A and B are shown apart, each in its own frame.
Chain A
């Protein structure tokens, strides 16, 4: 009964842990093995596999040595341009979504009429998914859609605005589908800020602007950084909407599309993997930066006794 008895222990003290490790492996830990193996086999290994594959150029690129696939991507102006095409979508989308969601999340810390319904409303686009949003935009934002009809009826424009199959269409769809995640992240952070701080500043005579600049924004800074980084990572990988409501042959030929095209249209898995690795490196760098910022933010908040 000794091994099973050890099984259902609560989080243990350090000495207990040391005693355990001397006695050998805790059998309960085996329960995590399938999950760990799954992540290693299906997430880590494919990355390693893709990395190895990206250094084994295929076809014409083979002549350029092991870096052939990377050289093909960075050497071709059209391919290289996909990074810029992606950045000019991801950066504005992130910036606008954070700017819109920040005051919203901050205000929703305190109750407003219909709090629950409003919260659910802002999260809805996430459950619809990018494909449905993009497909629906084809009608709504189309030349004969309600948006253009309204603009014409009001007299703001004299001919239908081209919202679709260009940069604007992709940006709109990104703004819609990326907003819920940004909002929820910021809401989580805003909820963690003690309202007493704002009250204290008010009692001490700080104006609204002073409170915002000196109390709220510094407290929200780590949250803003994390939300912005994750939003950028998500929008940087834009794929279906860049095809459906963008112009994938031109201005919205994004990096994810370039990777897909290399792997699944030209069957150059090496270059496809190379482009995916380039994407992954950029994104992982940002995620790492965001996570370390978050850790730093927590430390600061704790030492300042904010909670």
Chain B
């Protein structure tokens, strides 16, 4: 049996560790407090003076489901996020493959163009984009919302998948070709199985991001093409019209949807990939 000698942590090290845990505690208190008070309020009959609600009920959910037409919103949210992910994957995967395997003139320009929509805040390009979509009579429909959300989704797929294709050994493709596989067979039998986990992760990241992205859907959606987050904004934007518990119930629906997706995503995705790391 070997004994591993451990260096005693210095006091500075301890200070750093304490700082990390203190910051973690602040996040738990603030974010946990926000989420938990929404959750309690959504189930509260009323909540005025006390630390906790006066009683519990599910009637705000029933009211929210009919008043905000939650089934319809969930349906259009699912349709829009999945469509954005599907289109972004179909267009983005070949582009990522080319960027990983080829050098060509203008590659740097293409890469910068693909980076910019991720670095610029959506509201900045969203206003001209929405104006253009209104001009083409696309805004207000699901198609318009999907097109607008593609702008950050497509670069995200390309950026996530380029390093993924880079680490797939090109010798595997060469070997398959030497053994007589046609290009299509190389694609379906070699590349697709190898790339599938990365593509799935990228698609899930797009779904999670599109679900949380407010601005583009807000600027382009119509009554039948809102997503949950925009519906929540409209509900919270008009306080006083509906009881706050009912808005909180809506927020809980949004939270639950995000949570389910996030748990699904975390099985396949490294959480740090949810944002683009500029440093590669």
Please say whether chains A and B are actual partners in one complex.
yes
B-contacting residues of A (Cβ < 8 Å)?
4-5, 7-12, 17, 21, 26, 28-29, 31-32, 34-36, 38-40, 42-47, 49-51, 53, 100, 103-104, 106-108, 112, 118-140, 144-147, 149, 176, 180-181, 184-185, 187-189, 192, 208, 223, 226, 230, 233-234, 236-237, 239-240, 243-244, 256, 259-260, 263-264, 269, 272-273, 275-277, 279-280, 283-284, 287, 291, 294
B118: min CB distance to chain A, Å: 10
Q: Is B38 an interface residue (CB 8 A)?
A: yes
Once A34-B94, A100-B23, A132-B229 are accepted as A-B contacts, the answer to whether A39 and B113 lie under 8 Å apart by CB is yes
Q: Is B132's CB under 8 angstroms from A46's CB? A: yes
Q: Is A239's CB under 8 angstroms from B215's CB? A: yes
As a 0/1 sequence over residues 109 to 134 of chain B, the CB contacts with chain A under 8 angstroms (1 = contact) are 01001101101111111011111100
Q: Is B102's CB under 8 angstroms from A12's CB? A: yes
- Can you report 20 A-B residue pairs in the complex whose CB atoms are below 8 A from each other? A10-B174, A29-B98, A34-B91, A39-B113, A107-B16, A120-B271, A126-B274, A129-B214, A131-B214, A135-B233, A139-B244, A146-B51, A149-B51, A185-B275, A233-B120, A244-B233, A244-B237, A263-B130, A269-B131, A280-B120
Q: Is B85 an interface residue (CB 8 A)?
A: no
Q: Is B254 an interface residue (CB 8 A)?
A: yes
Q: Is A50's CB under 8 angstroms from B16's CB? A: no
Q: CA–CA, A269 to B116, complex, Å?
A: 23
Q: Is B37 an interface residue (CB 8 A)?
A: yes
B144: min CB distance to chain A, Å: 11
Q: Is A122's CB under 8 angstroms from B24's CB? A: yes
Q: Is B34's CB under 8 angstroms from A136's CB? A: yes
Q: Is B84 an interface residue (CB 8 A)?
A: no
Chain B contacts of A139 at CB under 8 A? 34, 37-38, 41, 244, 248
A-contacting residues of B (Cβ < 8 Å)?
12, 16-17, 19-21, 23-24, 27-28, 30-31, 33-35, 37-38, 41, 47-49, 51, 91-92, 94-95, 97-99, 101-105, 110, 113-114, 116-117, 119-125, 127-132, 147-148, 150-151, 154-155, 158, 170, 173-174, 177, 182-183, 186, 208, 212-215, 218-219, 229, 232-233, 236-237, 239, 244, 247-248, 251, 254-255, 258, 262, 271-272, 274-275, 277-279
B7: min CB distance to chain A, Å: 11
Once A42-B150, A123-B274, A126-B274 are accepted as A-B contacts, the answer to whether A107 and B20 lie under 8 Å apart by CB is yes
